[in-house]
C-alpha cells in the first residue's frame, strides 16, 4: 500500500484499489485519445489498411480453397480411382482377403453403375525400366482404352498409342517427363526402352502427375492388354477407374459403385480416391497465393507500425507539457509509460477492427472486381474464419505494443522540469 492510497483513505477520497486504479487509467487513456483524436487518426488508418489486407486475403483464400473442393469435379476430376484396401473389411465379414480386384468385381460394378461414363480396369506394377546403360525401377500403369482419352494421356509429345499398339501387335509405352529425363529418352526419334525384359517402343512423353511426390513422377503407361499379359496372373485387376459425365451425376455414380463393392467385397475393403494429385497441386497454389498475400499484408502492417512508432514518438514530444503537468499533479512516471503504451495498443486494435470490418464488408466487392478480369473468381464466396478474424487483430495488437514501447520508455524518462519550463 503506497502513501497515495494511505492518504486517499485518510482524506475522504474514498477507497482506492487495484480495480479503481485500472478504471482510472482507462479513463485517462480514453480522454487523451479523444483529446488528440486527429493526430491519432493517422495511426488508426495505417493499421486499418494492414488489417484489411490480411483479413481480406484470409477470407478470400479460405473461400477459394472451399471453392476448389466444390469445383473439383467440373474442373479436374470427373473420375475416381478405386483401390483395394487389403485386410480391413475382410476380417470382419470373413470374406476372402482383398489384395486385388478381379474381372468379376469389375463386371459387377459395371452392371450396377450404369450411369458411369466408363468403368475401366487399371493394372499397375513396379518394374525395371532401362535404356542403354541407365536403369531404374518405376510404376508401370496398364491403362484401358477409355482412359486414354483422359487429358493426362493425351497431352503428349509423340504420337500416343498407335492402332498397332492398341491391337496388341506391337508393345508401346508412354513415359512421364521425369521418366524420360531419367532415361535421356526425351528426344526424337523416341527410342525403345526395356520394360522388364521386354523391348517397348516409346510413343509419347506425357506430363508428370501434378503434385505427385518425387518417386511417383517417374512412371510408364502401357496398354492394359499388355500389362495383363506381362504381369496380370489370371483375373487380377489393380484398380477400377470410374468416370462420370457431369457433377450432378457424380453422387449417384459413387453411390452405386459403393453399393456394388459393398456387396461383392465388403465395406472398407476398398478405398475411393479422386484426382489426388491434381487436388493437392491446386491446394498448394491457393495456399501459396494466400501465403504471399498474407506476407504482403504483414509487411504493410509492419510498415504501419513504423508509422505508429513515429506518430507516438511525436505525440510524446508534443504532449511533454501535458505529461509534466500530470507528474506535478501526482502521476507516476510509470503511469505516463502505461498511457502511451495502452494508447498505442488501443489505437492499433481499433484500427485493426476497422480494417476487419472493411474486409468483411468489402470482400464481396473485391470478388466482383476480380471477376471482371478472371471470370472464375465469381465462383468464390469469401469465408469468414476464426483465424481470419483473430490473426489481423493479434498482429495489430502486437505491432501496436512494439511500436508503443519506445515512446513509452521516452515518456517514462521525461525531464519534468524542462517540460514545465518550456512554453
Partner 1 sequence: MTGQAPLVELVDIHKSVGSGDRTVEILKGVSLTVNAGESIAVTGPSGSGKSTLMHVMGLLTPATVGHVRVAGERVGQDRRKAIGMRRMFGFIFQDAKLIGGLSALQNVQAPLMHIGVWPHRQKKLATQALEAVGMGHRLGHHPSQLSGGESMRVAIARALVANPSILLADEPTGSLDSVNGRIISDLLFGMVGLSTALVLVTHQPDLALLADRIAHIVDGTMVEG
Q: Which residues bind partner 1 (CB under 8 A)?
A: 2-5, 7-8, 11-17, 20-21, 23-25, 27-28, 31-32, 34-36, 321-322, 325-333, 335, 416-417, 420, 423
CB of residue 62 to partner 1, shortest distance in Å: 43
For partner 1, give the closer residue by CB, 234 or 330. 330
Inter-residue contact 377 to 370 (CB < 8 Å): yes
For partner 1, give the closer residue by CB, 383 or 416. 416
For partner 1, give the closer residue by CB, 389 or 419. 419
Kindly provide the residue ranges of all beta strands, DSSP E only, lying in 109-262, ordered along the sequence: 118-131, 134-143, 157-158, 172-176, 192-195, 198-206, 219-223, 236-237, 239-243
Look up cell 470490418; give the residue: 357
Q: What backbone torsions phi and psi does residue 102 show, to the nearest 5 degrees? A: -135, 180
Could you tell me where the DSSP H helices lie in 86-154?
A: 88-93, 103-112, 151-154
CB count within 10 Å of CB 390 equals 13
CB of residue 333 to partner 1, shortest distance in Å: 8
CB of residue 26 to partner 1, shortest distance in Å: 10
In order, the DSSP letters of 357-407 are HHHHHHHHHHHHHHHTT-GGGGG------HHHHHHHHHHHHHHHHHHHHHH
For partner 1, give the closer residue by CB, 36 or 357. 36
CB of residue 341 to partner 1, shortest distance in Å: 16
For partner 1, give the closer residue by CB, 10 or 96. 10
For partner 1, give the closer residue by CB, 199 or 330. 330
Round to whole Å and give the CA distance between 35 and 319: 11
CB of residue 2 to partner 1, shortest distance in Å: 5
Round to whole Å and give the CA distance between 405 and 383: 35
CB of residue 405 to partner 1, shortest distance in Å: 21
Amino acid at each position: 500500500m503506497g502513501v497515495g492510497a494511505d492518504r486517499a483513505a485518510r482524506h475522504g477520497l474514498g477507497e482506492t484499489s487495484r480495480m479503481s486504479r485500472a478504471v482510472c487509467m482507462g479513463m485517462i487513456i480514453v480522454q487523451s485519445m479523444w483529446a488528440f483524436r486527429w493526430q491519432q487518426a493517422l495511426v488508426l488508418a495505417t493499421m486499418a489498411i494492414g488489417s484489411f489486407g490480411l483479413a481480406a486475403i484470409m477470407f478470400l483464400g479460405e473461400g477459394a480453397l472451399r471453392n476448389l473442393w466444390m469445383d473439383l469435379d467440373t474442373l479436374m476430376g470427373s473420375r475416381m480411382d478405386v483401390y483395394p484396401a487389403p485386410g480391413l473389411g475382410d476380417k470382419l465379414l470373413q470374406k476372402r482377403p482383398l489384395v486385388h480386384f478381379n474381372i468379376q468385381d469389375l463386371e459387377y460394378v459395371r452392371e450396377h453403375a450404369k450411369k458411369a461414363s466408363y468403368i475401366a480396369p487399371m493394372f499397375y506394377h513396379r518394374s525395371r525400366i532401362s535404356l542403354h546403360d541407365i536403369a531404374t525401377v518405376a510404376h508401370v500403369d496398364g491403362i484401358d482404352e477409355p482412359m486414354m482419352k483422359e487429358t493426362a494421356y493425351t497431352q503428349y509429345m509423340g504420337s500416343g498409342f498407335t492402332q498397332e499398339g492398341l491391337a496388341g501387335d506391337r508393345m508401346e509405352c508412354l513415359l512421364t517427363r521425369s521418366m524420360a529425363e531419367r532415361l535421356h529418352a526425351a528426344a526424337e526419334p523416341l527410342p525403345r526402352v526395356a520394360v522388364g525384359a521386354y523391348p517397348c517402343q516409346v510413343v509419347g512423353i506425357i506430363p508428370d502427375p501434378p503434385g505427385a511426390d518425387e518417386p511417383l513422377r517417374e512412371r510408364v503407361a502401357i496398354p492394359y492388354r499388355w500389362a495383363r499379359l506381362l504381369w496380370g496372373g489370371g483375373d487380377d485387376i489393380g484398380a477400377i477407374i470410374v468416370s462420370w459425365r457431369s457433377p450432378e451425376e457424380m453422387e449417384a455414380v459413387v453411390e452405386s459403385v459403393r453399393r456394388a463393392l459393398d456387396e461383392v467385397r465388403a465395406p472398407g475393403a476398398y478405398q475411393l480416391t479422386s484426382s489426388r494429385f491434381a487436388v493437392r497441386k491446386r491446394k498448394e497454389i491457393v495456399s501459396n497465393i494466400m501465403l504471399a498475400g498474407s506476407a504482403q499484408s504483414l509487411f504493410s502492417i509492419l510498415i504501419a507500425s513504423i508509422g505508429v512508432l513515429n506518430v507516438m514518438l511525436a505525440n510524446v514530444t508534443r504532449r511533454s507539457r501535458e505529461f509534466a503537468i500530470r507528474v506535478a499533479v501526482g502521476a507516476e512516471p510509470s503511469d505516463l509509460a502505461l498511457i502511451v503504451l495502452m494508447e498505442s495498443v488501443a489505437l492499433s486494435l481499433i484500427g485493426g477492427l476497422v480494417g476487419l470490418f472493411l474486409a468483411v464488408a468489402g470482400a464481396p466487392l473485391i470478388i466482383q472486381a476480380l471477376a471482371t478480369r478472371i471470370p472464375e473468381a465469381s465462383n468464390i464466396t469469401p469465408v469468414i474464419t476464426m483465424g481470419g478474424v483473430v490473426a489481423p487483430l493479434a498482429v495489430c495488437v502486437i505491432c501496436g505494443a512494439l511500436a508503443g514501447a519506445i515512446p513509452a520508455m521516452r515518456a517514462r524518462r521525461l525531464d519534468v522540469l524542462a517540460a514545465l519550463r518550456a512554453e
